[in-house]
Structures are given as C-alpha cells and as structure tokens.
Chains A and B, each alone.
Chain A
C-alpha cells in the first residue's frame, strides 16, 4: 500500500518536472523564434495577397490587397477591396511612402525611414516584450498558404491588453497569419497572406514610384525625428514633456516634430514591445471635435479631458500647463487613462 502511494507520488513528480521542462523549452523556443522573426522582418522578398478582417462594434471591415515586398522595407501594395479603395496604391521605396488615391487624384508623399535591425535591436525589443507578455510556441502545427508554420502565442501578463497569435513560416520566418484577441478574449483582427510566392520574381524591376502625370503631389515636409530619448530631448522644443515611460510596461520608443492644425507639436511613441501608443503634445489650446463619434468627459488627475473613438482607436485629450495632450491607442480605455495620468 505504502509502496503504491510512493510510486504514484514519484510518477506525479516526474510528470510535473517533465511538463515544467517542456514549458521551459517551449518558452526558450519562442524567444529564439521571435528573435529570428524580428531580424528577418522587412528583409524577405515575396508577393502575396493579404486579407485583413477587423471587427468594429458588431460589424467587421475587410480589405484585400495585392502586395510585393523586397528587402530594405520596399513594398508595393494595391487595394482590391473594399470597392471604395480599389486601385489605391501604396509604395514604400525605402526612403518615402507614396500613397496614390486615383479617385481623389492625389499623391501623398511622406518620409519613411527604415534601417536594418541588428541582433542587439532584436534583443532589446524582446526584453521589452518579455516584461509584458508570455511567449509560447504551441505544440500543434498548422499550414497557411500551403506552407508549414509554427504557432507563436504572445499572451499578456496583465489582463489589460490584447493577445496575439502569430503563424510563422518555418522556411522564411515570415508572419503568414496574425490573430489579435482583445483583452476580453474576443477575436478582433485577422490578417492572412495567401497566393504566396517567396523570392523576387525573375526580371522584376526594383520597386519605385512615379506619380502619374497631371496628378498633384502633396509632400509632407521632412520631419525632425529622434529614435532615442536623449535625441528626442535635444530636438524637442522647451515646452515639450517627454516622459521616459508611461508605466505599465510602456517605454519611450521615438519622437518626431509635427505641425497639428497649424500649431507646433511633438509626436512621441511608446511601446510595450508589441502594442504602441502615441502621445501628441500641441503647443497652446486645441480641442478634439467629436466628429459624430461618442465622446465623454474624463478626469486625468486635476485636468478635465475627453475620450473619443475613431477607426478602432481611442483618444484621450486634455489640457495642462499651456499644452494640449492627446494619447492615442488601440487599448482598453481604462489602460489609456492610466497611461495618460502618468504623463501629467
């Protein structure tokens, strides 16, 4: 009898140890995989069709684009659906982003900087991500666009932000499918590549864009930008506040100077490694029109503010010490308000 109890206990211990070892191995595998994905991002040549389905309230929006990507973050994306956007072309040529809308007969050209990621960069991103997310490679496998994939789950450590599942192509490390679940566990977004052809098509010309004749080009002026906190504080005007962190795992990522409605402004980006928020500071008083959206009043410390919603993003806007602040992100409103309070 006693011997039987001991053997059961021993068996349970061995099983638990085995399970813990398997968990630990899956976690290590996930880190290594994610680091490789980060290094490969923007460097893979492929053509594909991408379908994106985004849920908004009770409805959902879908877009279908035909895409060609080349190393150096060069891409040409043409909209097939929705009909309202069909024919729209977005080209990234490594230095600029060209957005051509045939229906509006306008080309918008904006600066688009990209630099190849180093192993140190990838490690830094991974470390930031690990503060807020648990990474795990799923034991089961799947096939997307006829290619075997590894399923990587990024689950938040705090229940206040989305979970993502990435389906990573085993051969190229390209993310072939992505599912985003909101903090309540509801599927929010699905992006999938199909008709995938990896590699550069023989004889294809490099990706460039030449605006069609007689179509005006609206150029957004080159903005001064900074990728580090020290650089941001150098370029920032004296009135700007640039917090190192907003708390809850969101650290400073970059900033650039912009003009919002004719007023000088600074746009600072914060990230937890996966989800990002934008902090926009405008010199002087400005308000955010509701624009048909529901808006409600909120308090951010001593300041009164508003929170509104536009295109799946929430925006908290308030004024303090002669500045107008807006915090924008696709995060639960409670979390945005907590981050806003950290700015004050």
Chain B
C-alpha cells in the first residue's frame, strides 16, 4: 500500500475504527514514516482538543423560559403551516438556539461571538514555567519540576498545545 493510502487511514486509526490487520499495517507504517507519524500526532492532538471542547448545557431557567414562550404563542390556526405559524416556529427555534448557547457574563457581546475555547491550566503552567526557566536567578530545579508535571499531564490528556 502506498504512503498516501496509509495517510488517508490515519484518522480512522486514531479513532480505533480500523480492523486488526489494517490497524497493524498502519502502525507499522507510522513507525517508519516520519511524515505520517507527525500527521498522526497532529490528528491525535486535534481530536484531544475537540474532546476537551466544552459541551454547552442549558441554563437552569431554560425549560421554564421555553414553556413560557410556547404558552405565549398564538393558538394554532386551521391551516397550521401558514405563514404566521412558520414565522413563530422559526422565532422559537432561534430562541431555543439562543437559550442553549453557553450563557456567560459578557462585557462586549459584539466582539465575543467566536466559539468558546478552553485554556488548559497545564498549558498556562507550561508557558509560565518555561518562560521563567530562562530568567536571571531562576530556580530551575523547581520550575523544571512544574514544567515536567504540566507537560506529562498535557501528554497523558492528549492536550499538548502544539503549533
């Protein structure tokens, strides 16, 4: 099989979706192919990031707000898929989407529309301890201890921030 074909199987391999034979073949190829190995690391990293992404949960008041909205809507007309009901349904849908979105205090909502990210505390520790290791009179021994712990935690969680 060509390198290109193995490369296309990397994502399925990372998800454990390949059969035993295919999986072993990809594993053997990754061991000897630097490019696919690097690609696999990036895929695993990306999947780690996606796993770590926060799952939005509805606010506590979500259901009561929804029922209140539904009750406030006009009663269904005989021809129920008419224009006014359609508009109301779209409005309700939009409201539900709004309610389901993560609700956090936001000083400037207009500039906060982009998706939420989670910063990993380990990544902050890595950044800080790594930076501090190079400063004058740095206590490199204890900084290294923090850095090692943070990098290990990042690696074991598949969260390492690789650029």
Contact = CB atoms under 8 A, between A and B. Distances in A.
B162 interface: yes
B122 A180 contact: no
Interface stretch (A3-11, A196-204, A244-252, A316-324): A316-324
Interface in A311-332: 311-313, 315, 317, 319-322, 324, 326, 328-329
A90 B146 CA distance: 13
B128 A101 contact: no
B132 to A, nearest CB: 5
Nearest to B32: A214
A68 interface: no
Interface of B is mostly: helix
Contact of B118 (A41, A99, A288, A293): A288
Contacts of B144: 52, 63, 65, 77, 90
Interface in A268-292: 269, 271, 273-274, 276-278, 280, 282, 284-289, 291
Given A214-B31, A304-B105, A286 B121 contact: no
Interface string A299-316: 000111000101111010
Contact of B127 (A90, A278, A304): A278
A326 B142 contact: no
B155 to A, nearest CB: 5
A285 B141 CA distance: 34
Contact of A101 (B136, B137, B155): B155
Q: How large is the interface on B (under 10, 10 to 19, 20 to 34, 35 or more residues)?
A: 35 or more
Contacts of B155: 101, 104, 106
A112 interface: yes
A199 B162 CA distance: 37
B118 A65 contact: no
Given A261-B49, A276-B131, A320 B119 contact: no
B160 A302 contact: no
Given A38-B136, A274-B137, A285-B112, A262 B124 contact: no
B10 interface: no
A108 interface: yes
Interface string A230-253: 000000000000000000000001
Interface in A96-135: 97, 99, 101, 104, 106, 108, 110, 112-114, 117, 122, 125
B163 interface: yes
Interface in B97-129: 104-108, 111-112, 114, 116-125, 127-129
Interface in A174-193: 175, 178, 180, 189, 191
A100 to B, nearest CB: 11
Nearest to A277: B128
A104 B152 contact: yes
Contact of B125 (A54, A254, A289, A310): A310
A146 to B, nearest CB: 20
A311 B150 contact: yes
A75 to B, nearest CB: 9
Contact of B142 (A114, A189, A219): A189
B41 interface: yes
A272 to B, nearest CB: 11
Given A223-B163, A284-B112, 12 more contacts: A41-B137, A52-B145, A65-B144, A112-B134, A175-B137, A178-B139, A218-B162, A271-B135, A288-B119, A319-B112, A321-B111, A322-B111
